[in-house]
Structure 1
Amino acid sequence: MYSKNTIFVIGDSKSGRNKPITLRYNQFFLGLVIDMSSGRIVGAECSATIGLTNRFIHSLFVDQLMDDPVILENISTRYFGSSQKALIVAYNDALKKYNQISAALSSNQT
């Protein structure tokens, strides 16, 4: 389904105590598939409790560059689910991991 040029990164965060996501999964997870040749996100899914949330989050991330600040802007201005803060933290965690992987791959090529 995904080319050999892609990687999978998962970011996680804690969600509020009484949030449905916390009750079901204990944490909030955001999985991203990234094309390493372009830095473009080609797949996204999270530990949402309903499918519509997953589809909406997918639309916020897919076709965006991994480090594009518009992602955080879109989360803040378009996503008003109870896990908004958890989504931001999970994205930042995934971005940190992506940057580490990018740096490691770049140093291996030199």
Structure 2
Amino acid sequence: MFHKRTIYVIGDSKTASNNPIMQQFNTYFIGLVIDRDSHEIMEAECSSTISLTSRFVQSIFVGRSIMDMEDIIEEIENRYFGASQKALTVAFKNAYIKYNQIIQE
């Protein structure tokens, strides 16, 4: 399904305790499949209680370079107005840090 030059990275964060995501998963996370050569995000999925949220998050990430962190964060801030906006941003930053550690090895 995914070629050998892709890697899977998870970023996680916390969100408000009254958020249904916290009640269901106890954390907020985003999973990204990234091409090591181009840094392109091939697939994205997040913890969500409704599938529309996950599909919308995919539209923000898929096809973008993970190296465009600031532009992606700006897009999250301008397009995603769910209760987990801050958690999504923090989880993405976490995934970005992990990715950069992996490619430095």
Q: What TM-score do the two structures reach when normalised by structure 1? A: 0.93
Please state if 1:87 is matched with 2:75.
Answer: no
Q: Work out which of the two has the higher radius of gyration on C-alpha atoms and give 1 or 2.
A: 1
Gaps of 5+ in 2: none
C-alpha distance in 1 between matches for 2:82 and 2:3: 32
Cross-structure match for 1:56: 56
Displacement of 1:67: 1.6
C-alpha distance in 1 between matches for 2:74 and 2:100: 20
Displacement of 1:70: 1.4
Q: Segments of 4+ in structure 1 off by > 2 A?
A: none
User: Which deviations, in whole Å up to 9, do the C-alpha atoms of 1:2-36 show, x marking residues without a partner?
Assistant: 11110000000011010010011000010000000
Displacement of 1:80: 0.2
C-alpha distance in 2 between matches for 1:93 and 1:81: 19
Cross-structure match for 2:102: 101
Please state if 1:5 is matched with 2:33.
Answer: no
Cross-structure match for 1:107: none
SS, match of residue 96 in structure 1: helix
C-alpha distance in 1 between matches for 2:36 and 2:67: 12
C-alpha distance in 2 between matches for 1:67 and 1:25: 28
Number of matched pairs: 104
Displacement of 1:66: 0.4
SS, match of residue 31 in structure 1: strand
Cross-structure match for 1:66: 66
